[in-house]
Amino acid sequence: VLSAGGTAVDAAVATYFAMAVTYPGAATLGGGGICVVSRGGDDAVEAIDFRPALFVQGNRAVMIPGAVRGMFALHARYGRLKWEALLLPAERLARFGNPVSRAFARQTAGLPDAAFADPAFRRIFAPRGKPLAEGEMLRQEELSATLAGIRLRGPGEFYAGDLAATLARELGDMAGITVPTDAFRAYRPTWTKTEIVNVGNDELHLPGGPDGERAAAIWRALSDKTPLPADAPQVSFDSAGFVATDRAGGAAACVVSANGTVGAGRIIGHSGIVAAAPPRGDAFPGLPMVMLNRAQQDARGVAAGSGGAAGIMRVLRATAPTFGGDSALDRILSALPVEGGAAGRVNIIYCPEGVRRGPASCRFQADPGGHGLATSAAL
C-alpha cells in the first residue's frame, strides 16, 4: 500500500482488514479499537475510538461492531487510495485461504474445549475436532462474502443496509434477544483530542480520557526513573496492534480487540464474523501512540502495545528510552521484562530525524516476544 502511494492510514486500514482474516480472535470485524493518527504537516494529531457498543436487553447483552465504520472514518479523513483497493487483499485471503500463523495457532491452541462450543466457530477454526495448527490452510468463504459487500458498498451496507438487518437479527438469535437494526444504524466512532506528554521538543500523543492519562503518568515515571503510579492497567485479555508511517510525515498507531482471547467465541450467523464479548471493566487492553516534532510537524515515533496490561506496560517501557533518544531498538526490546508471565507485544518505529526530513534514520523491528512483522516499502 505504501509503495502504491498510500498514506500511513491507508496502510493501517489495509493491515486491519487483512488481520481480520488472519488474526480474527482480536481483529475481528465484530470488534473495534482505538487509533492515534497524524497526517503530518500542520494538521493536529487525533484519536479515534471505534470500540464496539454494548446493547443490553434484560440480563443479556451483545456488542454492536465498531471496526468497519471506524476504519471507514479513518480512510475518509486521512486516506488517499481507493477504499476498494484496501479491502480486496483481505477478501482474497479469506476466499482462497491463508496458512495459519504461529501467533494465531498458539492463541487458539491454548483455549479450553468449551471455547469451541459454537458449531460455526468450531467448523471454521477446529474442523477436525482440534484447533488448526500452524501452517494449515484457513479458508473463510462466508467472511470473504461479507468483506466483498463492505468493499463494494462501504459501511452503509454494514450499518444500514440489508447486511445490517441480517447481522442484527443473527446477533439477537445468538443471545436470545431482539436487536433492532437501529442499533447498527446509530453506531458512530468518536474523534477525540489526545493526551499530550512533552518530550523535549517533541509531543507524545496518547489516546484521550482516563486510559491516556494513566499511560502518561506511567510514561513520565519511567522517563524520570521514579516509582510507578499505583493504578497500573489491569486488563489482561488479548488485542492486536499495528503501526505505520509514510514519507509525508504521517503516522498511524492502532490497537483492536474483541474483549476476549477470541471475543465471544461465536460466529454471527452466516457472516463469518467472530462476535465480540461484552467489555471487562472500563479499560482498553492496548495502547497506541504517536510522537510528533512540534516545530517540523513531522512524526518521529509511532508505537502500539497489545496483549492487555502486559502489552501496555511493554510499549511504555520500550518507548520511554527509545523516544527519549536511544535508537538501539534490538537491545531495548530484548531487555524488556515479561510482565507477570503475560505475553504483551510492542510495535514501534523510531525516526530520530523525522519520517519526512530523515527517513533513512528510521528504525523498526519486530518484537522478539511475539510473532509479528516489521517491513519497509523503501528498504
One-letter amino acid identity for 68? V
* DSSP classification of residue 321: H
Q: How would you list the strands of the sheet with 286-293, edge to edge?
A: 195-199, 202-206, 286-293, 298-306, 345-350, 363-364
Question: What pLDDT sits at residue 130?
Answer: 92
Residue 190, H or E segment: strand 190-192
Query: How far is 184 from 188, CA to CA, in rounded Å?
Result: 9
Question: What pLDDT sits at residue 341?
Answer: 54
One-letter amino acid identity for 186? A
Residues shown for the chain: 379
Answer yes or no: are the C-beta atoms of 157 and 149 closer than 8 Å.
yes
Query: How far is 108 from 235, CA to CA, in rounded Å?
Result: 20
Cα Dmax for the chain: 58
Strand partners, 293: 202, 298
* Residue 99 three-state SS: strand
Q: Which residue bears the cell 465480540?
A: 276
One-letter amino acid identity for 226? T
Query: How far is 31 from 75, CA to CA, in rounded Å?
Result: 18
Answer yes or no: are the C-beta atoms of 331 and 358 closer than 8 Å.
no
Query: How far is 208 from 284, CA to CA, in rounded Å?
Result: 12
Query: How far is 95 from 338, CA to CA, in rounded Å?
Result: 37
Going residue by residue through the chain, which has 379 residues, state the pLDDT in tens, using 9 for 90 and above.
Answer: 999 999 999 999 999 999 999 999 999 999 999 999 999 877 789 999 999 999 999 999 999 999 999 999 999 999 999 999 999 999 999 999 999 999 999 989 989 988 999 999 999 999 999 999 999 999 999 999 999 999 999 999 899 989 999 999 999 999 999 999 999 999 999 999 999 999 999 999 999 999 999 999 999 999 999 998 877 667 778 899 999 999 999 999 999 999 998 999 999 999 999 999 998 777 789 999 999 998 888 999 999 999 988 899 999 999 999 998 877 888 898 888 776 556 789 999 999 999 999 999 999 988 988 888 999 987 5
